[in-house]
Amino acid sequence: MRKPLVMGNWKLNGTKESVTALVNALKAPADKAAAKVDVAVCAPAVFIGMVEDLASGSKLQWGSEDCDVHTKGAFTGENSPTMLREFGCTYAIVGHSERREYHKESNECVAAKYKAAQENVLIPVLCVGESEAEFDAGRTMDIVRAELKAVIDLCGIESFKNAVIAYEPIWAIGTGKTATPEIAEKVHADIRAYLASFDADVAAGVRILYGGSCNAKTAPDLFKQPDIDGGLVGGASLKAPDFTAIIEAAEANA
Ligand SMILES: O=C(CO)COP(=O)(O)O
């Protein structure tokens, strides 16, 4: 069945010293969990080479927090999927709500990044989720379906055979307001049902992570839900003991 994935998203955090300590502390828990759970960290691009040097030889995987649609050229400030791949990335997060908001990334732009990542052998981690106002208005699945549909239109439903989805309600990110396991499970099940309307096998196989104040306290009950296949973890992924506890919660439910 689906192998859980616990992924850290460091966002704009870290120093050479903290990255060294964190990666060194996560190698043993990742190795221990590896038979049952995939463990990865997504780092700011400037640290990815360091993470590669530190984590190589362990089961800890790594990825980027974004990737450009181009493989090279005059695109100042960007990081191409081929460069990320060269530095050993397995994953590329695309469409995080912070990029959608602060960088005005549209559903179509995110779909293009997803395609570029996949074409260059990175596994895209497609973030979807609604704002608090949209949640209150009962529009969660309208928003999430549109985010998924843009990818299906560009890349096809089959593309989800080699991708990860992360449901991250924007109102739960960095706020301490985790979606209850029931709320999260309902959305995860609705995402799977929506994908199943295109292809049931693809829907049954795709990993759907939960993100948004996922921490050592909230992870155990979230991970018990049948359609939650792990977590995309922000703040709690910066502290080795907290992230290790989340890895262990996934192992306990794998
Ligand atoms: O945005 C997130 C992960 O991508 C979630 O962040 P927090 O875990 O800090 O709420």
Per-residue confidence (pLDDT) for residue 176, from 0 to 100: 86
Instruction: Report the distance separating Cα 156 and Cα 169, nearest Å.
Output: 24
Backbone angles phi, psi at 212, to 5 degrees: 135, 95
Ligand 1, residue 215: give the atom nearest the CA.
8
Ligand 1, residue 176: give the atom nearest the CA.
10
pLDDT at 1 over 90: no
The closest of 35, 40, 7 to 254, measured between CA atoms, is: 35
Ligand 1 neighbour 233 (Cβ under 6 A): yes
Stretch 12-21: mean pLDDT? 98
Residue nearest to atom 3 of ligand 1 (CA): 234
Ligand 1 neighbour 234 (Cβ under 6 A): yes
Per-residue confidence (pLDDT) for residue 100, from 0 to 100: 98
Distance 74 CA to ligand 1 centre (A): 32
Q: What is the pLDDT of residues 149-196, one digit of tens each?
A: 999 999 999 999 999 999 999 999 989 888 999 999 999 999 999 999
**Known catalytic residue: 168?**
yes
Ligand 1 neighbour 241 (Cβ under 6 A): no
Q: Is 186 exposed, middle or buried (0-12, 13-18, 19+ CB in 10 A)?
A: middle
Ligand 1 neighbour 237 (Cβ under 6 A): no
Q: Give start and end residues of each alpha helix (H) in the chain.
A: 16-33, 45-55, 81-86, 97-102, 107-119, 132-136, 140-155, 181-196, 200-205, 219-223, 240-253
234 annotated as a binding-site residue: yes
Instruction: Report the distance separating Cα 123 and Cα 126, nearest Å.
Output: 9
Q: What is the pLDDT of residues 193-209, one digit of tens each?
A: 999 999 999 999 999 99
Contact 225, 184 (CB under 8 A): yes
Q: What is the CATH architecture assignment of 5-253?
A: Alpha-Beta Barrel (3.20)
Q: What is the pLDDT of residues 106-163, one digit of tens each?
A: 999 999 999 999 999 999 999 999 999 999 999 999 999 999 999 999 999 999 999 9
The C-alpha R_g of the chain, in whole angstroms, comes to 17
ipTM (interface predicted TM) = 0.99
Per-residue confidence (pLDDT) for residue 110, from 0 to 100: 98
Instruction: Report the distance separating Cα 81 and Cα 113, nearest Å.
Output: 9
- The residue annotated as part of the active site, out of 98, 105, 130, 168, is 168
174 annotated as a binding-site residue: yes
Q: What is the pLDDT of residues 21-56, one digit of tens each?
A: 999 999 999 999 999 999 999 999 999 999 999 999
Q: What is the mean pLDDT of the chain?
A: 97
Distance 246 CA to ligand 1 centre (A): 13
Strand, coil or helix: what is 12?
coil
The whole model's pTM is what? 0.98
Per-residue confidence (pLDDT) for residue 15, from 0 to 100: 98
**Known catalytic residue: 103?**
no
